Structure 1
Amino acid sequence: MIQQLVDNFLPEQNIIPWLIIAFGLSFLIAFQTFPTILYVAREKHLMDVPDSRSVHSNHTPTLGGIGIFLGLIVVMTIVGAFLNTKVLLLVMGALTVLFFLGLKDDLTVLSARKKFLGQLFAASLLIVFTDSRIIGFSSILDIDILPYWVSVGFTLFVYVLIINAYNLIDGVDGLAGSIALCASGIFTYLFVMADDLSLATIAIALCGALIAFLRLNFSATRKIFMGDTGSMVVGFLLAFFTISFIHMEQVDTEATYYRDAPALAFALLFYPLMDTLRIFFIRIFVHKTSPFKADKNHIHHRFIQHGYSHLATTVIIAGINVLIVIIAFNLTYFDLNNQIFSLLLYGTVLYLIPFGIKKWALKP
């Protein structure tokens, strides 16, 4: 009877129950894994030690990425028989590579060069074997279709950019997890609308694992960070979702967001991308130092310096990013160049407003 049920079950005809099961399974696996991770981290002293850049004063476990990874892998393994096995296996392979690179960096130290090479290898797996890449600029600056090798090179650049931009925003409680949760939730909807249940399943599984993680990331007594293990895994998936969304819209002229996909993808990840661009500009042109030299000039650092708590900083930044996405989806009647220009304008203004409010509130 069970075998007959499995043979006849079609996820496409049961999308909502399917996504609920994937979400619940990922959440449950991660939720049950984190207490063990906390125990091992404390017993073996695998902690983040506060330094001059830290906004925390206590030693905190940094292996939250393990729970996120396990939640994702278990879901993809169990549901793989019902979905696009090729895509799922490639994603699992790429995530495993990045997982172990991130784990080594959390436990010891991994050179930036090795992390960069690992990111390129993981991204190349998806690009080469699924041909999922950004095939053009959708007429941005009058550039449409890119030559194949230029397309591959640009897609690799986008992968590396998003992975590392995401890693850079992991600076205050809940911020990186909340940004990823919002983006993954919206990607789930977009993939369902595009009839790609495999990608929708991965995206909703990431939501489940992230909610389980955020419960402890916000905790005062059982706090855990996602570490490089988590930021590499989650950042890679966000990059994969972004490129997959742009690709599926660009190859189908009848797609809902055929011309709008680049602007919408940019809006979904506006905060990490904008903050990275801003921080690199400050380091290169203001401080005249290496763009990779760590400092406390990120936007979330500025929020803390202006008196906002960790929770307030996360809620405001994530809330603004959601508002940016809502505006972006309501400006699709603009041509793509104007969508991106408007996004840069209203996105920047929205992130400046909290500083103005705080300054006004502190006036005598």
Structure 2
Amino acid sequence: MKEFVLTIILSFAGSFLLLYKLIPVSVNFGFCDNPAGDSLKIHKKPIPYTGGIGIYTAFLITMGLFFSIFRYPLTREVMGIILCGGLIIALGLWDDKQNVNPKLRLVLQIAISGITVMTSLVFFKASIFVLLPLLIVYLVGSINSVNLFDGLDGLAGGTVAISLAGLGYIFYLENDFLYLSITFALLGALLAFLVFNFNPATVFLGDNGSTFLGYMLAILAINTIRNGDNLLLLFLTVLFVGLPVVDTAFAIIRRAIKGRPIFVGDRSHIYDLMVINGLSIKQAVLLCYVLQSVIVYCGVLLWRSFHFVSGNN
């Protein structure tokens, strides 16, 4: 277990140092979210959007050290996840800088998700013609749900951190030390990011970070049922994505009813309504943390009820 404690410590330290150095560099090079002229932005000055780069880099370095020091085999499955995660980061950074056409962005997300499924998620006993579209929808849905939920300082990052804690507990019960290490490496990097991101934030996830977290959250959630043989249990794992999925579902319904394009943002999300009704940003974020904790806890209880862990029920 010592190697996993070391993993989260190394990841936290690496992410903290990277972000500490990256924030001023991002400002100097103009990699910032500028609120000027955008009524949906609630921050008042440009804030660097390179949090995702710091998280991914620290995660990548930590995993490299983990595989080297503890001699865990670097499988094709893990390589696919890491490389496709890098593609998600690159796409998100492009979107941060140039506002990629939403339809093109969606097509590219589908393509990256398809590659991920074919290289890293083919452990279910189901027809590929059923598996491929279902898992692509899951991945793309999680990617965009977390992205849409990134609307207040500390919100998306903290929400995903809660999910990672629940997923880490499951991998520990399963003795799945490979995915436990991946979860801890990501969690450590994310916790360091939250030091800089909690209100008032000095760095944002950006689309690069929020989409990467959504991607990794889906990957890890799906892997909690890799030892099961019922593909329908995939829907159980949506609880580990949690509140972002609920918020996104309401956003799609709301925009459809109003006849507005799904890709056009608004300020009627769950967290926005909390602030509109009198909560401070910190209070709204903490309330969302509580709600996410309840949802993830229910996910863990339901997961255990299906006896995926032999001898640990």
TM-score, normalised on structure 1?
Answer: 0.77
Amino acid at match of 2:90: F
Residue 89 of structure 2: aligned partner: 99
Residue number in structure 1 paired with 2:292: 321
Q: Does 1:32 align with 2:20?
A: no
Correspondence for 1:360:
none
1:228 maps to 2:218: no
Match of residue 120, structure 1, among 100, 110, 117: 110
Hey, what does 2:218 align to over in structure 1?
A: 239
Q: Distance in 2 between matches of 1:21 and 1:63?
A: 25
Would you say 1:22 and 2:3 are equivalent positions?
no
Paired residues of 2:160 and 2:213 also in contact (CA < 8 A):
yes
Take 1:194 and 1:111, find their aligned partners in 2: how far apart are those partners? 42
- State the distance in 2 between where 1:315 and 1:236 align: 23
Post-superposition shift, 1:28? 1.1
Following superposition, the deviation at residue 331 of structure 1 comes to 5.7
Distance 1:203 1:214, change over 3 A: same
Give the letter aligned to residue 267 of structure 1.
Answer: L
2:45 matches 1:58: yes
For structure 1, which segment, 66-75 or 83-92, has the greater mean C-alpha deviation from structure 2 after superposition?
83-92
Change (3 A) 1:125 1:196: farther
Gaps of 5+ in 1: 1-15, 136-145, 336-364
Write the letter of the residue equivalent to 1:295: D
8 Å CA contact 1:132, 1:243 repeated in 2: no
> Contact between 2:81 and 2:120, CA under 8 Å: does it hold in 1?
no
Aligned CA distance change for structure 1 residues 332 and 117 (closer, same or farther; 3 Å): closer
Q: Is the deviation greater in 320-329 or in 99-108? A: 320-329
Match of 2:131 in 1: 151
Contact kept? 2:243, 2:295, Cα under 8 Å: no
Q: What is the root-mean-square deviation in Å for CA atoms of aligned residues? A: 2.3
Alpha carbons of 1:314 and 1:56: their partners in 2 closer, same or farther (altered >3 Å)? same
Displacement after TM superposition at 1:316 (Å): 0.5
CA distance in 2, matches of 1:334, 1:79: 32
Bigger radius of gyration among the two? 1
**Other-structure match for 1:9:** none
1:332 to partner: Cα distance: 6.8
Report the counterpart of residue 200 of structure 1 in structure 2.
180
Call closer, same or farther: CA 1:101–1:79 in 2, change over 3 Å: same
Q: Matches of residues 247-262 of structure 1 in structure 2 within 5 Å?
A: 248-251=226-229, 262=235
Match status 1:278 vs 2:250: yes
Say if 2:78 and 2:120, in contact at 8 Å, map to a contact too.
no
Shift of 1:195: 2.3
- 1:132 Cα deviation after fit: 3.5
Give the CA deviation at 1:88: 2.5
- Contact 2:11–2:62 (CA<8 Å) still a contact in 1? yes
| Corresponding residue of 1:74 | 61
Structure 2 partner of 1:215: 195
Select the residue among 45, 48, 65 that pairs with 2:33: 48
Mean Cα deviation higher: 197-206 or 126-135: 126-135
Aligned length: 301
Q: CA deviation at 1:21?
A: 1.1
User: Structure 1 residues 326, 96: closer, same or farther in 2, change over 3 A?
Assistant: closer
Worse-matched range after superposition: 99-108 or 29-38: 99-108
Preserved CA contact (<8 Å) 1:300 1:313 = yes
**What do the CA deviations read for 1:257-278 (whole angstroms, capped 9, x no partner)?**
x986632x22222211111110
Q: Which amino acid aligns with 2:253?
A: F
| Residue 359 (structure 1) aligns with | none
Q: Residues 117 and 134 of structure 1: is their aligned pair in 2 closer, same or farther, counting only changes over 3 Å?
A: farther
Matched letter for residue 159 of structure 1: L
Q: 1:219 to 1:171 in 2, by over 3 A?
A: closer
The residue type paired with residue 217 of structure 1 is: N
Q: What residue is the counterpart of 2:74 in the other structure?
A: 85
Decide whether the 8 Å contact of 1:63 with 1:106 is kept in 2: no
The one of 254, 269, 276 equivalent to 1:305 is 276
State the TM-score, normalized to the length of structure 2. 0.89
Structure 1 pair 240–181 and aligned structure 2 pair: CA distance change class (3 A): same
Measure the CA separation in 1 of the matches of 2:149 and 2:111. 23
Distance in 2 between residues matched to 1:29 and 1:74, nearest whole Å: 8
| Sequence identity percentage | 24
User: Matched residue of 1:85: which SS?
Assistant: coil
